[in-house]
Amino acid sequence: MGVKSRRASDAELIGRSLTGEAEAFVEMVLRHESAIGAFLVRRVGRDTAEDLLGEVWVAAFAARKTYDQQYPDARPWLYTVALNQVRHHWRSQPPEDLVPDLNEQGGAWDPWPMVQMRVDAQAVFRDALAGLRSDEREVLTLVAGEDLTAADAARVLGIPAGTARRLLHQARETLRGTPEVAALLTELNSVRGSR
């Protein structure tokens, strides 16, 4: 039997790229391209995300010597780079262009009768999220939408892990306490129970 080779961590790949092995950085990019691309699509729409994704990789490559190699997984760092690119993009846009075209947000319209409930649910959650403080919304979005831990979300946002956990807890409590969200969750649970 052959010996199974150990997969290099992202930190190791970044380290190797710093010693001149450019293919190591490409390998790390390939690991995270889908996740970072999906993050960008959700933030700025498909067309803009395709443009920004290249900028994320260029910025990450340029900043790779600042990567803290004590963290084996570079995904939170890459989210930080991507979030910075999104913020730069938003700052460079005229105010009227900041509202994305819903047709660019990906996915086809659902043809089934549940569409109205889904649209209502999205509106309720969007309104509830808009009611959160921006720091609570960022942590919640990274944890719930990007499947990061609270500690990883803290790394992305440059805040202490305890602060991220507190913000996540506050956001969840605020959402649970919103009457529209509570009513929607009750309605969704009753629909699931009737199937």
Closest to 89 measured CA to CA, from 33, 40, 138: 40
State how far the Cα of 5 lies from the Cα of 151, in Å rounded to an integer: 29
Number of folded domains that form the chain = 2
CATH number where 39 lies: 1.10.1740.10
- Dump pLDDT digits (tens) for 28-79: 999 999 999 999 998 888 889 988 999 999 999 999 999 999 999 999 999 9
Q: Calculate the average pLDDT of the chain.
A: 82
By the 10 Å C-beta count (0-12 exposed, 13-18 middle, 19+ buried), 165 is classed as middle
- Dump pLDDT digits (tens) for 123-159: 777 788 888 899 998 998 898 888 889 999 999 999 9
pLDDT of residue 191: 60
Q: Is it the case that residue 102 has pLDDT exceeding 60?
A: no
pTM over 0.85: no
CATH number where 148 lies: 1.10.10.10
Determine the structural domain holding residue 180 and report its residue range: 110-195
Residues 90 and 116 in one domain: no
Longest CA span, the chain: 62
